[in-house]
Structure 1
Amino acid sequence: MGSLVAAFWRSLNPSTLLLGGVLFLILAHFLKRPRLPMNYPPGPRSVPFFGNFFLLDFKQPHLSLQKYVKKYGNVFGMEFGVWPTVVVTGFPLIKEALVHQGHKFVDRPISPVRERIFKKNGLTLSNGQIWKEQRRFTLTTLRDFGLGKKSLEERIQEEVHHLALAIEEEKGQPFNPHFKINNSVSNIICSITFGERFEYQDDQFQEMLRLIDEVVHLETSVWAHLYTVFPWIMHFVPGPHQALFSKWEKLKVFVSHVIEKHKRDWNPEETRDFIDAYLKEMEKHMGNATSSFHEENLIFTTLDLFLAGTETTSTTLRWALLYMAFYPKIQEKVQAEIDRVLGQSQQPSMASREFLPYTNAVVHEVQRMGNIVPLNVPREVTVDTTLAGYYLPKGTMLVTNLTALHRDPAEWTTPDTFNPEHFLENGQFKKREAFLPFSLGKRACLENSWPRLSSLFSSPPFCKNLPLSLQTMRS
């Protein structure tokens, strides 16, 4: 018997082994791949292992999806690896999923990349009881420290002053505003989370901002997508995705050091910031093995706040600068309204918003056209359900197509043109139900970024000293 096996093994050549390996993997794929139900949404044909991976343009995946909307309709299915995904388009269906059936779509799918980094911790990607506890605590604490209140508004006004001074140092010469704006926006989060702001020349602060910027870019790279499809292989393969994990570790270390500093001079009777409040909550739950309040969750919740509160707002503000450069007449109307309402010395405030309808409309139009979260943050189906007559099994990933919604000709008069009139009616600001840059339902964004955006537009020294031109932006 042994000699027969040895003879068989000798007869095998590399080509036969390779073919056998491929056939084995294909068989394993089909055995592992969940069977889609009969009434599952239609969609493009997938291939083993990759699903519809290669149908997307990795630089602009949100745009490459739109042709499938035309072909298959407002609900269609795709596969990313072995992850069945349903893309939903149109305001009625998005509202049906995220609001009317919100409890069935409340979870977040956790990609292999984020699972390796966050596990099930933090605020953005946690689910179930962990998410409920972390969100409730975070929202309450942010409100205590000024979210939606005058105290936060004063911090924003102070930071805008520092930003204006940093811009004045450029003496009217072209410059890249990216990190100056990142500094300013991030300092708002720092003042609430760490209890202090950082000077723009602070080396540690600059390193943290650089790392945040880099992890955002790396997580949208082809390498990160490949890790999602083949985590068991890519875990051992060298490449930029390995740098992603090391940069996340550095961010964790940065926050850990801040937490240790807080512990050394912590006074439970005096809550200075978010970290102090969290340490106090941890003390309440000490000895409770089921509690989600522990130091690892504090680290990841803090990082979630930084990522959500810095990158998105900073990117939106840079879009605002670009649109003002491309549309100088709109820029002039914004400046004229600010001059008329605020003059050259009054600080902007939330109370000013109702008297600045055109500026308010421009801020909203920047968010519509900037489209910085084009496919929203995905959801996961928590129980078998139906949507638009289609059957969606538990575990299906749901993607809401905000790109199509914010460019829908049925909702917007000139969907592909920057036009503040979309948010105006008889000269007054008009809310639009189909405007969802902060998503909808129970997992909508914790905060509305209007104060930070409006402060940039409305600060008199900033507006007067930075006339935006295409020559400036091209540099």
Structure 2
Amino acid sequence: MGTWAFLIALLVALLILRFLGQLWSQRHFPPGPLSLPVIGGLWRIVTMLNENILIELAKQYGNICTLWLGHLPLVLLSGYEAVKEGVIDHAEKLSDRPSTPFYTSLGKGRGIALSNGHTWKQQRRFAVVTMRKLGLGKKGMEHQIEEEAQQLVEIFACAKGQPLDPSLPITNAVANVICAVTFGHRYSLEDEKFQKLIEAVNSAIKFVGGIFHVLYEMFPSILKHLPGPHKKVITVSHLVLSYAKEEIKKHKEQLSFHEPQDFMDFYLLQMEKNKNDPNSTFDEENLAYSIQDFFVAGTESTATTLRWALVLLTNHPDIQDKVHKEIEDVFASSQSISYQDLKKVPYTNAVIHEIQRSNYAFFFGAPRQCSEDVKLGGFLLPKGTLVIPDLRSVLLDPKQWETPKEFNPNHFLDKDGNFVTRKEFLPFGAGTRVCLAEQLARIELFIFLIKLLRAFRFQLPEGVKKLSQDPVMGLTFQPPPYKICAVPHSSSS
């Protein structure tokens, strides 16, 4: 009995020593929840899980704090000043994406969103230039977006003012814009392949940032051998890549890249030009992963913002009516819409910005990884440290916004009703990793909302007093499922 007691006491002493050693090794990191053996600070997340959890952590531990996921330190930047210091003032040092087990298995270091170093720089530079060639901000691209917006108007019109769920039609319309940009054609909404593509993208979005994602990063050697949603995400990722590779094959067979019309054409032409360059990263694998990046990053965020737009405008009919009046006063009988017209409708512009600010589509900003040692807020973060810029906290920062918790378009208007640009408006991120599709998303939001609000007045179904604005948590913050009535304007063109 004495021997067992001694062994148990020895084991407890060793565990205590290991725990104290762990705390000592973590002393240079910013403060945060107590890191327990094995689970780190995960206990804190579980006990206070809600949409404001990261903001609440910052209130308790500071605008730069550390959440330990097992042995993995995750440094959170909260509020405008901390996020600015990280992603703008130290943009180059925080330019890498995480090389964690899940991100590595998902991205393989290829494409744009999850690549680093030479591959990332070459792929991103090419994508930026090519988006300009495709006419981002010009009539060519805008015409394709306007066509999708008109399709959406016609789908809504079929409901004849009766309650409808706009979620799937909106997602399909936005996804078809990405198809037009990357493949050069749109899919029929009934196309089985197209629906599977949308489902695959949705599955990936729902997984990232969830508890199973966190557990996979903490215990990859165990979870990679077990069934679970992490396996499904890798499978659907392969599905998106296989669709991209099918389109690559078609484009090569048609030799369409000699007269490029879409992103894939331009990429294949670049491959041809660089085939003898040993430093080139232009190959079919990087192209397929870049297409995957476009779909994952470019579909859900814009679609979610549009869904929130209809919730907010339906709940605030006075604001909706004011936007509609401004649109009608400016565009009158004009059939075509140009993104340049945004300057003519300052109130509408302010409303679009406020929708993005008040109901930011993501739980937090895309994660970064220190490419070298960096000093933030007086703390030295070693190379390889994961950093999360909490963009939602920036958009709700009470030090920057007059009424951060309210839907208030006046945040973007001066006393004379002119639109005001705000440096604190960072829904697309900032620095070297600013969203590649920012301009595309801005054009989509403008054209889709103008077309919809010219055609319909969005109203609550009979018996419904207000649409819920409590978000459904995930990587994206979705509005709860809802139905609205799209009542045609008698004067709509």
TM normalised by structure 1 equals: 0.89
Per-residue CA deviation, residues 428-475 of structure 1 (Å, 9 max, x unaligned), is: 11111111001111110122322111112211x653335232658643
Is the Cα contact below 8 Å between 1:328 and 1:469 reproduced in 2? Answer: no
Q: How does 1:85-164 map to 2 (within 5 A)?
A: 85-164=74-153
Q: Which of 421, 429, 432 is matched with 1:439 structurally?
A: 429
One-letter amino acid matched to 2:431: G
Q: Which of 322, 327, 345 is matched with 1:333 structurally?
A: 322
- For 1:450, the equivalent position in structure 2 comes to 442
Displacement of 1:301 in angstroms is: 0.4
- After superposition, the Cα gap between the structure-2 partners of 1:43 and 1:218, relative to the gap in structure 1 and judged at 3 Å, is closer
Per-residue CA deviation, residues 140-185 of structure 1 (Å, 9 max, x unaligned), is: 1111001122211111112111111111122222122112111211
Is the Cα contact below 8 Å between 1:37 and 1:391 reproduced in 2? Answer: no
3-state SS in 2 of match to 1:463: helix
- For 1:3, the equivalent position in structure 2 comes to none
Displacement of 1:30 in angstroms is: 7.4
- After superposition, the Cα gap between the structure-2 partners of 1:206 and 1:436, relative to the gap in structure 1 and judged at 3 Å, is same
3-state SS in 1 of match to 2:458: coil
3-state SS in 2 of match to 1:104: coil
- For 1:244, the equivalent position in structure 2 comes to 233
Give distance in 2, aligned partners of 1:35 and 1:412. 39
- After superposition, the Cα gap between the structure-2 partners of 1:292 and 1:468, relative to the gap in structure 1 and judged at 3 Å, is farther
Is the Cα contact below 8 Å between 2:313 and 2:319 reproduced in 1? Answer: yes
One-letter amino acid matched to 2:454: C
- For 2:244, the equivalent position in structure 1 comes to 255
Moved more, 33-42 or 416-425: 33-42
Asked whether 1:72 is paired with 2:36, we answer: no
Displacement of 1:120 in angstroms is: 0.6
Is the Cα contact below 8 Å between 1:62 and 1:375 reproduced in 2? Answer: no
Q: Which of 132, 140, 162 is matched with 1:173 structurally?
A: 162
Number of aligned residue pairs? 459
One-letter amino acid matched to 1:234: L
Is the Cα contact below 8 Å between 2:80 and 2:394 reproduced in 1? Answer: yes
- Identity over aligned pairs, percent: 37
Q: How does 1:217-232 map to 2 (within 5 A)?
A: 217-232=206-221
Per-residue CA deviation, residues 105-161 of structure 1 (Å, 9 max, x unaligned), is: 111113322211211111111111111000000111111001122211111112111
Per-residue CA deviation, residues 56-83 of structure 1 (Å, 9 max, x unaligned), is: 1599565212222122221112212322
Displacement of 1:54 in angstroms is: 2.6
Give distance in 2, aligned partners of 1:342 and 1:144. 28
- For 2:459, the equivalent position in structure 1 comes to 468
Is the Cα contact below 8 Å between 1:386 and 1:392 reproduced in 2? Answer: yes
Give distance in 2, aligned partners of 1:255 and 1:455. 27
Give distance in 2, aligned partners of 1:258 and 1:340. 44
- For 1:298, the equivalent position in structure 2 comes to 287
Q: Which of 406, 428, 432 is matched with 2:418 structurally?
A: 428
Displacement of 1:261 in angstroms is: 1.1
- For 1:407, the equivalent position in structure 2 comes to 396
One-letter amino acid matched to 1:434: E
TM normalised by structure 2 equals: 0.86
3-state SS in 2 of match to 1:47: coil
Asked whether 1:309 is paired with 2:301, we answer: no
- After superposition, the Cα gap between the structure-2 partners of 1:268 and 1:189, relative to the gap in structure 1 and judged at 3 Å, is closer
Give distance in 2, aligned partners of 1:62 and 1:375. 10
Is the Cα contact below 8 Å between 1:177 and 1:318 reproduced in 2? Answer: yes
Give distance in 1, aligned partners of 2:21 and 2:116. 24
One-letter amino acid matched to 1:440: A
- After superposition, the Cα gap between the structure-2 partners of 1:90 and 1:466, relative to the gap in structure 1 and judged at 3 Å, is same
Give distance in 2, aligned partners of 1:98 and 1:129. 20
Give distance in 2, aligned partners of 1:321 and 1:240. 31
Q: How does 1:186-201 map to 2 (within 5 A)?
A: 186-201=175-190
One-letter amino acid matched to 2:421: K
The RMSD of aligned alpha carbons is 2.9
Displacement of 1:29 in angstroms is: 8.7
Displacement of 1:341 in angstroms is: 1.0
Is the Cα contact below 8 Å between 1:106 and 1:379 reproduced in 2? Answer: yes
- For 2:489, the equivalent position in structure 1 comes to none
Per-residue CA deviation, residues 161-210 of structure 1 (Å, 9 max, x unaligned), is: 11111111222221221121112111222112101112222221122112
Give distance in 2, aligned partners of 1:205 and 1:36. 50
One-letter amino acid matched to 1:457: L
- After superposition, the Cα gap between the structure-2 partners of 1:59 and 1:212, relative to the gap in structure 1 and judged at 3 Å, is farther
Give distance in 2, aligned partners of 1:148 and 1:61. 38
Give distance in 1, aligned partners of 2:340 and 2:171. 25
Give distance in 1, aligned partners of 2:172 and 2:274. 35
Is the Cα contact below 8 Å between 1:81 and 1:228 reproduced in 2? Answer: no
3-state SS in 2 of match to 1:56: helix
Moved more, 431-440 or 65-74: 65-74
- After superposition, the Cα gap between the structure-2 partners of 1:26 and 1:114, relative to the gap in structure 1 and judged at 3 Å, is farther
- After superposition, the Cα gap between the structure-2 partners of 1:240 and 1:185, relative to the gap in structure 1 and judged at 3 Å, is same
Give distance in 2, aligned partners of 1:36 and 1:301. 39
Moved more, 403-412 or 279-288: 279-288
Moved more, 311-320 or 385-394: 385-394
- After superposition, the Cα gap between the structure-2 partners of 1:61 and 1:82, relative to the gap in structure 1 and judged at 3 Å, is farther
One-letter amino acid matched to 2:151: H
- For 2:473, the equivalent position in structure 1 comes to none
- After superposition, the Cα gap between the structure-2 partners of 1:113 and 1:356, relative to the gap in structure 1 and judged at 3 Å, is same
- After superposition, the Cα gap between the structure-2 partners of 1:333 and 1:249, relative to the gap in structure 1 and judged at 3 Å, is same
Runs of 5+ unmatched residues, structure 2: 468-481, 484-493
Give distance in 1, aligned partners of 2:355 and 2:270. 39
Is the Cα contact below 8 Å between 1:321 and 1:468 reproduced in 2? Answer: no
Give distance in 2, aligned partners of 1:333 and 1:110. 48
Asked whether 1:351 is paired with 2:340, we answer: yes
Displacement of 1:33 in angstroms is: 7.1
- For 1:393, the equivalent position in structure 2 comes to 382
- For 1:6, the equivalent position in structure 2 comes to none
Is the Cα contact below 8 Å between 1:58 and 1:221 reproduced in 2? Answer: no
